[in-house]
Amino acid sequence: MSTAFDVILALLVLLLALRMLSTRGLFQAVILFVSFGLALALVWVRVGAVDVALAEVALGAGVTGALLVNTLRRLETKAPDWLDIARYGPLRAIVPAACGLAAAAAGAVAIAAPRAEVPLAPLVLETAAGVGIGNPVTAVLLDFRGYDTLLEIAVLLSGLVAVWALERGRPAVPAPSDAAREPVLAELVRWIVPLAVITAVYLTWFGSYGPGGAFQAGALLAGAGVLLLAAGFLQPAGSSSFVLRSVAASGLFAFAAAALHTTIATGGMLRYPAGTAYYWMLGIEFVLVVSIAAILADLFVDVPAAPRGPAA
């Protein structure tokens, strides 16, 4: 019975992806992308990867979807909608061939996957329990493979810096004044942003016991930040703002400082002293949350605050 549910869910995701990749309208494709992300999150929950589901919804469907919509808005004044699949004769055959080849290769890997001699999963579970962390994924992210997470933050920050570099010289969007705010959105934002902050703090703290963690909470806060921008409560701070730069970089600096300290103190990079792992992780995560939120919210360039229209 549960297999039937799996098959239906997989078909749903597949159909959404098919429709999204073959549709002519760009806006339809973006909306389908968000739905695709949500359906994929259901798959993650079904497989038991709840952290990944949270991240998929918050980052994959939420942040990426919003970025796509924003870009669509910025592009629509420039480029026409060219959507045809390649018209040249021989090229037409390449697309289905490419699809089939890639899928078949991946499928062959899936079927022929060798079994590991020493399975990693039970080892991780044991060690995580030994360290006192209830969520093995968070333990892997911040303790066992903390180095990867450090580099991940560096990648995020580099992405932001690169986007800033690309945005230089574009005219800035003026923010509307206090009296010009769209009232319904403003009211919703007044209720949602405090709730988002509380939920983000809770998610970060809870990430050590169950599904949650810094990245999902950071994405939630970034969403709140974008809402504030859209409602006109926040003026978009340019890349020259010192506060913005410090907050965005604080995550990387805190993590690097922790790495440096642990290298000196215990001789291994990010090898926390015995018994203190929980506190180290929590401390790093809380700095990370604010930093990630700032980085993600700043990827949204030119978000126009919804002004009060003439029909008010």
- 311 is a site residue for another protein (CB under 8 A): yes
Tell which one of 129, 132, 147, 170 touches another protein (CB under 8 A): 170
Least separation in angstroms between CB 264 and another protein: 26
Q: Which stretch binds another protein (CB under 8 A): 177-185, 235-243, 252-260, 275-283?
A: 177-185
Helix axis angle for 214-231 and 183-206, nearest 10°, is 170
Residue 231 and residue 214: Cα distance in Å, rounded?
Answer: 25
Stretch that binds another protein, among 104-112, 236-244, 247-255, 277-285 (CB under 8 A): 104-112
Residues 46-75 that bind another protein (CB under 8 A): 46-49, 51-52, 55-56, 59-60, 63-64, 67-68, 71-72, 74-75
> Using the rule CB under 8 A, is 171 a contact of another protein?
no
- Rounded to the nearest 5°, which phi and psi values hold at 311? -85, 5
Q: How far is the CB of 198 from another protein (least distance, A)?
A: 11
Dist. CA 297–CA 291, nearest whole Å: 10
Query: How far apart are CB 47 and another protein at their closest, in Å?
Result: 6
- Within 76-182, where are the H helices? 89-111, 120-131, 136-139, 146-167
Write the single-letter amino acid at 60: G
Site string for another protein, 9-48 (x = CB under 8 A): -x--xx--xx-xxx---x--xx--x--x---x--xx-xxx
CB of 214 to another protein, least distance (A): 10
Taking CA atoms, 311 is separated from 155, 169, 237, in Å, by 45, 34, 30
d(CA 263, CA 271) in angstroms, rounded, equals 7
Q: Measure the CA–CA gap between 141 and 151, rounded to whole angstroms.
A: 11
Binder to another protein among 28, 129, 134, 155 (CB under 8 A)? Answer: 155
Q: Give the count of residues interacting with another protein (CB under 8 A).
A: 106
Question: Is there binding between residue 182 and another protein (CB under 8 A)?
Answer: yes
- From candidates 131, 132, 134, 137, binder to another protein by CB under 8 A: 137
Please list, residue by residue across 19-32, b when 16 or more beta carbons sit within 10 angstroms of its beta carbon and e when fewer do.
Answer: ebeeeeeeeebbbb
| 99 interacts with another protein by CB under 8 A | yes
Largest Cα–Cα separation, the chain? 69
How far is 160 from 176, CA to CA, in rounded Å? 25
**Using CA atoms, how far apart are residues 13 and 123, in angstroms rounded to an integer?**
33
Residue 101 is a binding residue for another protein (CB under 8 A)? yes
Question: Does residue 180 touch another protein according to CB under 8 A?
Answer: no
Q: What distance lies between CA 272 and its chain's CA centroid?
A: 27
Q: Quote the least distance from Cβ 274 to another protein, whole Å.
A: 21
Q: Does 198 bind another protein (CB under 8 A)?
A: no
Which CB, 188 or 260, lies closer to another protein?
188
| Residue 264 vs 311, nearer CB to another protein | 311
CB of 209 to another protein, least distance (A): 14
Query: In the complex with another protein, which residue's Cβ is closer, 155 or 172?
Result: 155
- Judged by CB under 8 A, does residue 158 bind another protein? yes
Question: Does 126 interact with another protein (rule: CB under 8 A)?
Answer: no
Q: Does 237 bind another protein (CB under 8 A)?
A: no
Decide if 266 contacts 273 (C-beta within 8 A): yes
Give the C-alpha separation, 35 to 217, whole Å.
Answer: 21
